[in-house]
Amino acid sequence: MKRKNSKSKINKILRFVGIALCILIGIAFGTVWFYSDSLPPTSELRNFTMRSGSEVYDRNGKMVYLFAFEKRKLVSLKELPPHLIDALVVTEDKNFFKHFGVDIIGNIRAIAIDIVRMDFSQGASTITQQMARNMFLTLDKRISRKIKEVILAFKIEREFSKEEILEIYFNKIFWGGQLHGVEAAALNYYGKHAKDLSLAESATLVGMIQRPNYYNPIKHAERAQARRDNVLERMFSSGVISAADYELAVSSPLRKRGSSMRQTSSDYFIEHIRLYLERKYGTDRLFEGGLRIYTTLDQDLSVYADSVLNEYLTGIEKRYNYPNKMADVSPNAFDINTKYLQGGLVLMENRTGFVRAMIGGRDFSHSKFNRMTQAKRQPGSSIKPIYYTAAVEKGYTPATVINDAEISLMGGDGKKWTPTNYSKKYYGFTRMRTAITHSYNVWAVKTAID
């Protein structure tokens, strides 16, 4: 009798477990079907293309700037150093090459904790899940987003190889500011290509992925170094680097070098071509079209010209005791009409007419107004060659004589205008060659009205 009761209880339990499993499986399939309907199809995943900005090169073929909504420069996986790939896998997803897109145990744990806490903030995302989220989903922390992320991860793993996933990830991931992709990050933070990153630099960049602005090596060096060392320790513990490599990398200073993607002395030149290209090709084509823009800019000359102009104007400020000096202005100031002495400079190659440098002001961050191209000013004596050329076409010669005497004309505003020479004197009957030599104003005006 006892055996029958015991057997009956076991059967009931098994039936209950079976029914529960069927219900759970049904819920799982229903959930997958429900959310899959609103997700991009596999074909869209395959055809997904990342926006790439337009690169600007100087006369020597050096990239000096990148126009982009998302500053990104695409790079292939085979170009990246192995220690960079190892750092990513060890830090973000140590089982990347073993799983099929999702860390089942980790995700179940994360979802369970989310449900208990009702805050839906747990991580446990694999590299594939992160890629799915960054490519197609929002960053909200609802459980529905987590489910979509898991479904997409399965789809991605089915469509892409592990190597392809890593390549897309490295080109897509956010690295702070407008920076997307490891190549843009390497150029911005270290002034070098991703393929040239050292072990320590690779660990620093990988350490930033979790919180790019918080671990920014330029703004928060101590945090970035601590995070870098943590990544290096994980790499050593996982056996992907030797003890010697670990000691060398962890003892190296947190080097930060000038960005090759930031405007410096060529600010005004770059802005000038941006205005032209945007009018010609449109904003989207310029910032997302992946154009290569070759210019006449000489970056070295531009740096030199900028320093010469600033040194000269600083000297004038000191010599004449200007009340407002550039050195006194806050670096965060912005005003077209800066209170300190301004100036500009253009270097043009006589033989070709190529503009090698254009300095439109003393500091682009203070004032983006280009005093070389946007300021309206009287042409002064530079217009006289036009008058004299017209006079020669009418039969004038260097020996032609005109009476350099007072003359009054009616101006465009209906008022009388009397031109004078710079010396405030008149020189009587004078030949053209003399008038040109001394830049007489009255003589030039009379050729125009003759």
Gap between the Cα atoms of 306 and 269, Å rounded: 12
pLDDT score, position 53: 81
Averaged pLDDT, 196-202: 95
Q: What is the pLDDT of residues 267-315, one digit of tens each?
A: 999 999 999 999 999 999 998 888 999 999 999 999 999 999 999 999 9
298 close to 58: Cβ distance less than 8 angstroms: yes
What does each C-alpha distance from 344 to 299, 305, 324, 359 come to in angstroms? 17, 10, 18, 5
Gap between the Cα atoms of 100 and 158, Å rounded: 8
Averaged pLDDT, 16-35: 57
pLDDT score, position 22: 63
pLDDT score, position 107: 62
Gap between the Cα atoms of 305 and 322, Å rounded: 23
SS3 state at 356: strand
pTM: 0.61
What does each C-alpha distance from 172 to 133, 264, 322, 406 come to in angstroms? 11, 27, 50, 73
Averaged pLDDT, 427-435: 95
pLDDT score, position 173: 87
Gap between the Cα atoms of 377 and 392, Å rounded: 27
The three-point CA angle 66-69-75 to 5° equals 55
* Residues that are catalytic: 92, 381
Q: What is the pLDDT of residues 346-391, one digit of tens each?
A: 999 999 999 999 999 988 878 889 999 998 888 888 899 999 999 9
pLDDT score, position 336: 54
Gap between the Cα atoms of 195 and 85, Å rounded: 11
Averaged pLDDT, 208-224: 91
pLDDT score, position 88: 95
pLDDT above 70 (res 3) = no
Is residue 448 within a helix (H) or strand (E), and if so which, with residue range? helix 441-449
pLDDT score, position 52: 72
pLDDT score, position 263: 52
pLDDT score, position 33: 47
Q: What is the pLDDT of residues 320-349, one digit of tens each?
A: 887 776 666 655 555 556 778 889 999 999
**Residue 429 corresponds to which amino acid?**
F
Q: Does domain 380-449 have CATH number 3.20.20.10?
A: no
Gap between the Cα atoms of 270 and 385, Å rounded: 32
What does each C-alpha distance from 398 to 70, 402, 403, 432, 434 come to in angstroms? 61, 11, 14, 5, 8
pLDDT above 80 (res 141) = no
Gap between the Cα atoms of 65 and 70, Å rounded: 13
pLDDT above 80 (res 103) = no
CATH topology agreement for domains 72-251 and 380-449: no
Q: What is the mean pLDDT of the chain?
A: 82
The three-point CA angle 84-75-62 to 5° equals 110
Long-range contacts of 273-276 (CB under 8 A, 24+ apart): 273/56, 274/67
CB atoms within 10 A of CB 79: 13
Question: What percent of the chain has pLDDT above 70?
Answer: 77
pLDDT score, position 423: 93
Burial 27-57 (b: 16+ CB within 10 A, else e): eeeeeeeebeeebeeeeebeeeeeebbbbbb
Alpha helix segments (H runs only) across 76-220: 82-92, 104-117, 127-136, 143-159, 162-172, 182-190, 199-208
CA nearest 360: which of 250, 295, 266? 266
Alpha helix segments (H runs only) across 253-353: 267-281, 283-288, 299-319
Gap between the Cα atoms of 445 and 450, Å rounded: 9
Boundaries of every domain in the chain: 2-33, 72-251, 267-359, 380-449
Beta bridge pairs of residue 66: 55
Q: What is the pLDDT of residues 29-76, one digit of tens each?
A: 455 544 555 566 655 555 555 667 888 999 999 888 888 877 777 888
SS3 state at 345: strand
Averaged pLDDT, 214-241: 93
Gap between the Cα atoms of 287 and 53, Å rounded: 5
Q: What is the pLDDT of residues 394-423, one digit of tens each?
A: 999 999 999 999 999 887 788 898 999 999
Averaged pLDDT, 128-140: 72
Best CATH choice for the domain 72-251 from the list 3.30.70.1890, 2.60.40.420, 1.10.3810.10, 3.40.50.10260: 1.10.3810.10
CA nearest 432: which of 388, 378, 384? 388
pLDDT score, position 18: 65
Q: What is the pLDDT of residues 113-126, one digit of tens each?
A: 666 655 544 555 88
Tokens coding 181: 């992709």
